[in-house]
Amino acid sequence: MAQVSSIANEQTSTPLSSPKTILLRISRYNPEHDESSRFMEFDVPYQRWTTVLEAILEVKKHFDHSVAVRYSCRQATCGSCGMIINGKPRLACFTKISELNSEVVTVEPMNNFPIIRDLAVKFEKLFESHQKIKPYLVRDDTELETDQKEFLQSPEEVEQYIQFANCIKCGLCNSACPTMATDSSFVGPQALAQAYRYVADSRDKGKDSRLKIIDDSHGIWRCHFAGSCSQVCPKGVDPAMGIQLLRGYLLGFRS
Amino acid sequence: MDNENRREGIFGMANPGRFGIERVAYWLMRLSGLGLLAYFVAHIYETSTILRGRAGWDDFLALTQTTEGHIVLAIVIAMCVFHTVNGIRVMLGHGGVGVGKPARPDYPYDPASQNYRHKIGIYSAIILAAIAMMYGLAVMFGE
């Protein structure tokens, strides 16, 4: 334990050294005692490979440790560090400062999510919507209980949904969605893309029940194909495509 | 902006600046839809003036013969053409036409649903609306 502590001390006492700095503007807001959000500004040194998340952690180490930010894997896999960076929803660990081409980097919490504090937002609604569309393969229990049954698929069948299986539930698509900006009951592009992922899976038998769930006034028909969700997805999921293809099932173009 | 819920509201929905031409089309579609709705209401009122006889009808119609009236009608023509052409594009997209096929994505992940077909559709809607508006202005202001 003492060794871990000394490593931590060593890390916190070694700031990034670089001749290049950016002005990092961090949105600060604590719902418990702030009436409105405000920006705090920090000059942060950076290298060509420095990510926005590393710059925020640099601020936490050397300037203000009270900045609230959620992160985990630092390699665009966990989907924890979604935030608005220079006006667009992005993953902080996947966005290099050098690629933003700006002397000023502004970070804010994601839109269309309640704020916990500063850059951290609540994901309850996203996970509720995700669970609502039954994000698992629906089969008869008897088929699943026997260990002799294999659910084989051709490569062509896998192609139908594998893109949508890349979703990391980061919430960036919901944050970019203009419908979510005005309709708090809208199920959102994340859940709809996942509905398509399972509906298009040849092993699944839950298509009808899923289509019934999303065939709602705040469901799939609220999407107006602005495409912003697909533009911000860091994993290439393309929810806009999934939603339009899903509509094909409801309109009878696909079976 | 609602701070605690971080909801952008109507301005966030309408913000055309961050997400490319698709969001501009989304914004213009709503704006033209509301404009055409307002015109529809005004048009019903206009036709109701016939109940006041020929004089009442002519009085109201005279409003459209002014410079301002011509400009309003030209904007209505543009809104009508844009809403129609872009609406056809969106309906085709909703039917799964032109949105691409699912495939394993390769970095840098250009979304297939935001392809050139839809961009051409959007630019066509804008250009046709501009041409129709200019033609309307030429007819109304031309001698």
Q: Give the Å distances, CA to CA, from A179 to A73, A191, A219, B11, B66.
A: 30, 14, 11, 12, 39
Q: Identity (one letter) of the amino acid at B31?
A: L
Contacts of A114 in chain B (CB under 8 A): 4-6
Contacts of A238 in chain B (CB under 8 A): 100, 105, 111-113
Strand blocks (E) in B21-141: none
pLDDT in tens, A189-203: 999 999 999 999 999
Contact A110, B6 (CB under 8 A): yes
pLDDT in tens, A2-32: 444 444 454 444 556 677 899 999 999 999 9
Rounded distance, CA A45 to CA A186, Å? 41
Closest by alpha carbon to A180, among A127, A87, A243, A112? A112
User: Is A49 at the interface with chain B, CB within 8 A?
Assistant: no
Rounded distance, CA A86 to CA A107, Å? 6
Answer positive or negative: Cα dihedral of A239, A240, A243, A248: negative
The reported pLDDT for the residue numbered B8 is: 75
Residue with tokens 């859940």: A191
The reported pLDDT for the residue numbered A17 is: 65
* Chain B CA closest to residue A250: B95
Closest by alpha carbon to A180, among B28, B2, B31? B2
Higher-confidence position of A41 and B46: A41
The reported pLDDT for the residue numbered A16 is: 60
Q: C-alpha A24: how far from its chain's center?
A: 22
Length of chain B as a residue count: 143
Query: B20-48 and B116-141 are packed helices; what angle lies between their axes, rounded to 10 degrees?
Result: 40
Q: What is the ipTM of this complex?
A: 0.85
Closest approach of B10 to chain A, Cα-based (Å): 6
Least confident of A50-54, A153-157, B75-79, B97-101: B97-101
What mean pLDDT comes out for the span A104-119? 95
The reported pLDDT for the residue numbered A252 is: 85
Contacts of A160 in chain B (CB under 8 A): 102
Rounded distance, CA A153 to CA A139, Å? 15
What's A109's DSSP letter?
Answer: P
Which strands make up the sheet holding A88-91, listed edge to edge? A38-45, A21-28, A104-108, A82-85, A88-91
The reported pLDDT for the residue numbered B4 is: 66
Region of A134 please: left (phi>0), alpha (psi -120 to 50) or beta. left
* Chain A CA closest to residue B26: A226
User: Is A164 at the interface with chain B, CB within 8 A?
Assistant: yes
- pLDDT band of residue A255 (cuts 50, 70, 90) is confident
What mean pLDDT comes out for the span A98-107? 95
User: Is B33 at the interface with chain A, CB within 8 A?
Assistant: no
Binary contact (B100, A241; C-beta < 8 A): yes
Instruction: Output the tens digit of pLDDT for each of chain B's 143 residues.
Output: 666 678 777 776 667 778 889 999 999 999 999 999 999 999 999 899 889 898 888 988 898 889 999 999 999 999 999 999 999 999 999 988 889 999 998 888 889 999 999 999 999 999 999 999 999 999 998 86
Q: Identity (one letter) of the amino acid at A96?
A: K
What mean pLDDT comes out for the span A234-247? 95
